[in-house]
Structure 1
Amino acid sequence: MNFKINIPKDVKLVLDTLINNGYEAYIVGGCVRDSVLGKSPKDWDITTKAKPDEVIELFKKVILTGIKHGTVTVMIGKEGYEVTTYRNDGEYEDNRHPKQVEFVSNLKEDLARRDFSINAMAYNEQDGLVDYFNGVEDLKSKIIKTVGEPKKRFCEDALRMLRAIRFSAQLDFDISNDTLLSIRTLKDNIKNISKERIREEFNKMLVSNTKSIEVLKETGLLEYIIPYINKTYDFEQNNPYHIYNLYEHTLLSTKLIENKLYLKLTMLLHDLGKLKTKTSDENNISHFYGHAKESVLMAEKALKDLKYDNDTINKVTTLIKYHDSTLKTKLSVKRMLNKIGEDLLRDLIKVQRADVLAQNPIYEKDRILNLVNVENKLNDIIEQSECVNLKDLEINGQDLINIGFNKGKEIGQILNYLLDLVIETPNLNNKEILLKIAKNKLMS
């Protein structure tokens, strides 16, 4: 294939230094794949016949990032470039790491150990594109295939099963049948992969393409990532507001929400509590009283298990907690604003919109119009700088102490009492008026 990649000058410097000193060297993997697709690569990895100690000799600053696997990082200015010696991975001991690696002198052997054909291409300006495993053809066909036998590749490293689905999501490619079948067969091996690694692949899938959730379901991997979700697959909701089963509703609402990770996670987990709260009335209509509270507990457990950071967990669980709350009046908007703040309230409106759009369309118009009105009310409250929290109250703890209140819990209780009054009646947010109300409270 007559194909030219514009290699950045620092990367070219590393390649040229290796080649001019008698060592084969190529850019390899994702940067080649992205270049063939016409995308700008984020990372530039280099593979070479030179051994790590020979690479170290040639460059001023080298960091020993993964020397036991033949990888060092060459620093050019402030940028680092991974340079890995051609290698053959030995036997894998834990479905993830080779016990040992063996350096080889042949580029084809090095490329043969890689995961997918689209990631097993190499390039330099002298030889052009090196594509022993039909990576270009698979890019044209929009298909994910392993290099060699899929079962062997996935037994070596079980994370590759998730990577296959992630690449499929990011590139909007299909996965070849034998690759998909092997994932189904070996899905249990995912237990050997760290939660952090699973989480990182899952995050990339969620923000790329919701179809990845379907592929995870189809292969049986989804229930390893989100416990209980397999129980939603055939869970009928039997309620006039719903035309989809619980899984279908979850998937659609996840697809419809804005493409931010914590919002995607919110929709994926927002209704899990329905599995534990389903009741039926005399007309065989199902109800799910208290499901938001139960969903919070289940979501928190799932997110902690995957080692999500506290900020993400807090955002997701707060949005789930209030996803079913009724917002209509200006007062209800102000009370919610007091509880969760402006940013999360704007997110909550997005969550409720996605939830409604994934339900029965008969009720959609009025409920979406209501959310538009809620957003307008929120904008008015913000523009008018109406008081919804203690910091905007025209009176503080010291003012209360000055008129005779005791320090401690009582101050907080009175301030919250006054804030409640101001939220209901904004005109009361005046220092003299509030002091008068507080004095009356003190004397009563």
Structure 2
Amino acid sequence: MKITLPDDVKQIIETLEQHGYEGYAVGGCVRDSILGRIPNDWDITTSATPQQVKKLFLRTVDTGIQHGTVTVLMGKEGYEVTTYRVDGEYEDARHPKEVTFTANLEEDLRRRDFTINAMAYNDSEGLVDVFGGRADIEQKVIRCVGNAEERFGEDALRIMRAVRFSAQLGFTVDPDTAEAAKKLAGTLSKISAERIQTELVKLLVSPHPDYLRYAWEYGITAVVLPEFDRTMETPQNNPHHCYNVGEHTLEALRNIEADKTLRLAALFHDFGKPQTHTTDADGIDHFHGHAKISAELANNIMHRLKFDNDTLNKVKVYVRYHDLRPELTEKSVRRAVSKVGADAFAEVLKLKMADTLAQSPKWQPEKKAYLKELTALYHTILEKQQCLCIKDLKISGKDLIEDGMKPGKEMGEILAKLLELVLEEPQRNEREWLIGKSRELRNTEG
């Protein structure tokens, strides 16, 4: 088969070959090319040692020279060129204790995780596919290279990667690979939080976020996200629901756009239900206050998995307010938007729709109609440019100081009260009225 290599990649491989070395594009770029996708990056493998590679190219960076990797700079682009290697013993279920360089391409391909990632290509030799990667792509299978237990024993993160690739590509996991994943899932406890986070997010933003089910089935979530396992054990015997909490979560994930913060919010939005689960005298399940607990759990989990603060804060807000149901009046919706934040409210609406689509079909028409009207009122409020927060007020702390007020806690309280009054009646947001009202409030306080 013919793969169109970028000019820079061709040039690197040709330079290696002209000096008596082998060179191939390898791994994900070959896989993606066969799948008809545009590779994110192109990695090259070679029989040349790092020092030999450095002698052939003017501009190089030692990115991982102890593992045989040199980055070759071509214009503004960098390409990782790695020497064929055999990995030594793995001590931490992630990194080999040592690597040994080899002149044999097949030995290098043998150490890789999955058959679909263990193919190499250059224009002179064509596709090198020793382990059946192309056939597995055609059969839509994720299969470890060689013995699955050995591959997972070398690098426990590969267990999550199996499910992640499955979700990204819509492939099934080979039964032997799945069994090995189940057997060794506990070793994921040795993997850093940052790496777990990366794989979880890639799975969630994939075309099949509901494949998180397989992470649960294999025992992966029991190690990295035990809160999800509890949702899979929590029933929802309630007329508004047709799934248990975990199944409902998977369905919500399927029904929300592939945005990182929204998919995370959909994942976490009902994590508080196991803690708040009660059953009334009629056998109906209730989850009062679950949104608040879910937001707290989301905060704890995202800290544990070392998420950045911006993502964490956005997700917390979406989860906290996903169950907010204001009356369908401009005043009530205006207060809700002020509470949540104008930008965040738009995302909360998306989460509410995904939540609705994962509930009992019987009540969906009514709930969709409510959301449609809620969305219309939200847009009306934005179009009218109504005041929604203190910075939207037609006066500021500076105006109050000029009017004789001393800076301090009282000033913040006065501005908060003025905002409440303006949320009640938007036409009050006029400088003259606000100054007068602030004087009145100060006199009352005094």
1:31-83 residue CA offsets vs partner (Å, 9 max, x unmatched): 11111111111111111111111111111111111111111111111211111
- Opposite residue 251 of structure 1, the aligned amino acid is L
- For residue 234 of structure 2, what is the aligned residue in structure 1? 235
The answer to whether the 8 Å contact 2:278/2:285 transfers is yes
Question: Secondary structure, in 3 states, of the residue corresponding to 2:313?
Answer: helix
Q: CA deviation at 1:279?
A: 2.1
Change (3 A) 1:296 1:211: closer
Question: For 1:140, which of 138, 141, 158 is the aligned residue?
Answer: 138
- Matches of 1:228 and 1:296, distance apart in 2: 13
- Matches of 2:36 and 2:354, distance apart in 1: 34
- Matches of 1:124 and 1:441, distance apart in 2: 78
- For residue 39 of structure 2, what is the aligned residue in structure 1? 41
Question: For 2:29, which of 28, 31, 35 is the aligned residue?
Answer: 31
- Matches of 1:271 and 1:42, distance apart in 2: 34
- For residue 121 of structure 2, what is the aligned residue in structure 1? 123
Question: Secondary structure, in 3 states, of the residue corresponding to 1:147?
Answer: coil
- Opposite residue 380 of structure 1, the aligned amino acid is T
- For residue 149 of structure 1, what is the aligned residue in structure 2? 147
- Matches of 1:212 and 1:237, distance apart in 2: 21
- Matches of 1:125 and 1:140, distance apart in 2: 22
- Matches of 1:352 and 1:371, distance apart in 2: 8
Q: CA deviation at 1:367?
A: 1.5
- For residue 88 of structure 1, what is the aligned residue in structure 2? 86
- Opposite residue 258 of structure 1, the aligned amino acid is E
- Matches of 1:203 and 1:396, distance apart in 2: 41
Structure 1 position 310 matched with structure 2 position 309: yes
- Matches of 2:398 and 2:302, distance apart in 1: 41
Question: For 1:74, which of 68, 72, 75 is the aligned residue?
Answer: 72
The answer to whether the 8 Å contact 2:69/2:82 transfers is yes
- Matches of 1:398 and 1:307, distance apart in 2: 39
- Opposite residue 299 of structure 2, the aligned amino acid is E
- Matches of 2:86 and 2:150, distance apart in 1: 14
Q: CA deviation at 1:96?
A: 1.0
Question: Secondary structure, in 3 states, of the residue corresponding to 1:228?
Answer: helix
- For residue 223 of structure 1, what is the aligned residue in structure 2? 222
Change (3 A) 1:343 1:441: closer
Matches within 5 A, 1:340-379: 340-379=340-379
Structure 1 position 286 matched with structure 2 position 264: no
Q: CA deviation at 1:89?
A: 0.8
- Opposite residue 283 of structure 1, the aligned amino acid is D
- For residue 256 of structure 1, what is the aligned residue in structure 2? 255
Change (3 A) 1:156 1:418: same
- For residue 331 of structure 1, what is the aligned residue in structure 2? 331
Question: Secondary structure, in 3 states, of the residue corresponding to 1:317?
Answer: helix
1:118-174 residue CA offsets vs partner (Å, 9 max, x unmatched): 111111111111111111111111111111010111101111111111111111111
- Matches of 1:350 and 1:36, distance apart in 2: 35
The answer to whether the 8 Å contact 2:189/2:224 transfers is no
- Opposite residue 400 of structure 2, the aligned amino acid is L
Q: CA deviation at 1:438?
A: 2.5
1:264-293 residue CA offsets vs partner (Å, 9 max, x unmatched): 111111111111112222222222221111
The answer to whether the 8 Å contact 2:210/2:251 transfers is no
The answer to whether the 8 Å contact 1:51/1:70 transfers is yes
- For residue 175 of structure 2, what is the aligned residue in structure 1? 177
- For residue 19 of structure 1, what is the aligned residue in structure 2? 17
Q: CA deviation at 1:434?
A: 2.1
Change (3 A) 1:393 1:141: same
- Matches of 1:386 and 1:109, distance apart in 2: 67
- Matches of 2:203 and 2:263, distance apart in 1: 10
Question: Secondary structure, in 3 states, of the residue corresponding to 1:41?
Answer: coil
The answer to whether the 8 Å contact 2:43/2:79 transfers is yes
1:321-342 residue CA offsets vs partner (Å, 9 max, x unmatched): 1111112322222122222322
The answer to whether the 8 Å contact 1:227/1:302 transfers is no
TM-score (norm 2): 0.96
- Opposite residue 296 of structure 1, the aligned amino acid is A
Change (3 A) 1:22 1:402: closer
- Matches of 1:125 and 1:407, distance apart in 2: 73
Question: Secondary structure, in 3 states, of the residue corresponding to 2:341?
Answer: helix
The answer to whether the 8 Å contact 2:188/2:224 transfers is no
Change (3 A) 1:37 1:442: closer
The answer to whether the 8 Å contact 2:85/2:100 transfers is yes
The answer to whether the 8 Å contact 1:397/1:411 transfers is yes
Matches within 5 A, 1:95-114: 95-114=93-112
- Matches of 1:58 and 1:401, distance apart in 2: 69
Q: CA deviation at 1:310?
A: 0.7
The answer to whether the 8 Å contact 2:210/2:253 transfers is no
Percentage of identical aligned residues: 48
- Matches of 2:200 and 2:134, distance apart in 1: 26
- Matches of 2:184 and 2:200, distance apart in 1: 18
Give unmatched runs, 5+ long, in structure 1. Answer: none
The answer to whether the 8 Å contact 2:115/2:142 transfers is yes
- For residue 295 of structure 1, what is the aligned residue in structure 2? 294
- Opposite residue 95 of structure 2, the aligned amino acid is H
- For residue 387 of structure 2, what is the aligned residue in structure 1? 387
The answer to whether the 8 Å contact 2:45/2:83 transfers is yes
Q: CA deviation at 1:94?
A: 1.3
- Opposite residue 73 of structure 2, the aligned amino acid is M
Count of aligned pairs between the two proteins: 442
Q: CA deviation at 1:437?
A: 2.2
- For residue 320 of structure 1, what is the aligned residue in structure 2? 319
Change (3 A) 1:101 1:401: closer
